Homo-oligomer: A and B are copies of this chain.
Amino acid sequence: MSEIIRLEGVHKSFGEGPGAVHAVEDVTLSIDRGEIFGVIGYSGAGKSTLVRLINGLETVTSGRLVVDGAEISAMREKQLREVRPEIGMIFQQFNLFPSKTVAENVAYPLRVAGWDKARREARVAELLSFVGLADKARARPTQLSGGQKQRVGIARALASEPKILLADEATSALDPETTRDILGLLRRVNAELGITIVVITHEMDVVKYLCRRVAVMERGRVVELGEVYDVFSRPRQDVTRRFVGTSLRDRPSPEVLARLAATHPGTLVTVGIQEDTGSSARLMRTLGEHEVDGAIVYGGITEIGERPFGSLTLALTGEDEAIRRALADLGGYTTVQEYPELEELKR
């Protein structure tokens, strides 16, 4: 697959001297043409700054940034202007034009790109009806709800059919249903038109649903990068583990565990479910072999990139010895998390 975006040792600081903020530090990564690439990380990690470098809204402090063969980091504003129509952007703060109507907002990039009136109108109508705002075409942004504004921003970014779409928290203000529609749209434009999409999000579901690869940022640096399935199933960094955990909501928090222990007899364990290491069927078989009863009390199995993934928390009942052996067997092919502290409590 050919590469469309490459960052080499990119730094970005705001201000100078000891008070400077190093928003992006030494980031090297490469995004392939036609892929959907996710960026996640704590608030303030530098995600927005990173994508704003890609279309040159911020200038690189040091390092090299190449987009579709053009060296953005060496370009002047005038040259950037020629590259930018190929890069659509959904802004975290929407950045709509307050004095223009919704339709005019969406039509703006088309005017810049020189589309004629008839094509423009048709395209605007198509996009607005897609984002469910056909009836708001003549409203002004101040008359819209938060999610409506965000949808106008999405329509505007997609309007001129860019090659690259930078989506900075594109669904943060949307209800789950509308989010699903928008994500479906993004997936479709990616599949049908081959648009490369860089997605910043704090919703792990968005990453799981959309992205092939994901980068995890922490304090300006990319601390983890890889296929979404790998990153989620075998997180190496603490930050990733926490994100994946909260996202899957498949690992019970200490409070929840304490409650589960109080209401369920038996030994609580959390067992990882992964396509290549442990399917739930194999798991149940192992328990059956050892004559151990396993009640699922918490956890979940979903898909990441069309492959099953998750964990189940079981309350195991049976002979102590049998349980011990069953766990040893399980440990042979998947991850097993035991909770000795809970056993202490029970005694």
Point out residues on A near B: beta carbons under 8 Å. Answer: 14, 21, 40-45, 47-49, 92-93, 143-148, 150-151, 168-169, 172-180, 202, 204-205, 239, 242-243, 246-247, 249-250, 256, 259, 264, 279-281, 284, 293-303, 306, 308, 310, 312, 315
Contacts and interface: CB of A to CB of B under 8 A. Distances in A.
Contact of A295 (B21, B284, B300): B284
Quickly give the copy total for this chain: 2
A169 to B, nearest CB: 6
A35 to B, nearest CB: 20
Nearest to A313: B301
Chain A interface helix/strand/loop/mixed? mixed
Given A297-B301, A299-B300, 8 more contacts: A43-B150, A43-B175, A179-B202, A179-B246, A256-B303, A284-B296, A300-B302, A300-B310
A45 B47 CA distance: 31
B177 A42 contact: yes
Nearest to A136: B44
Contacts of A48: 145-146
A40 B249 contact: no
Contact of A302 (B173, B205, B298): B298
A296, A297, A308 pick with most chain B CB within 10 angstroms? A296
Nearest to A312: B296
B93 A175 contact: no
Given A145-B48, A173-B172, A177-B42, A297 B293 contact: no
Given A298-B302, A300-B310, A143 B173 contact: no
B315 A296 contact: no
A244 to B, nearest CB: 9
30 contacts: A42-B178, A43-B147, A43-B174, A43-B175, A43-B178, A44-B144, A47-B145, A48-B146, A92-B146, A147-B202, A172-B172, A173-B202, A176-B202, A176-B242, A176-B247, A177-B242, A177-B246, A180-B246, A249-B302, A279-B295, A280-B297, A281-B295, A281-B297, A284-B295, A296-B301, A297-B301, A298-B302, A298-B308, A299-B301, A300-B301
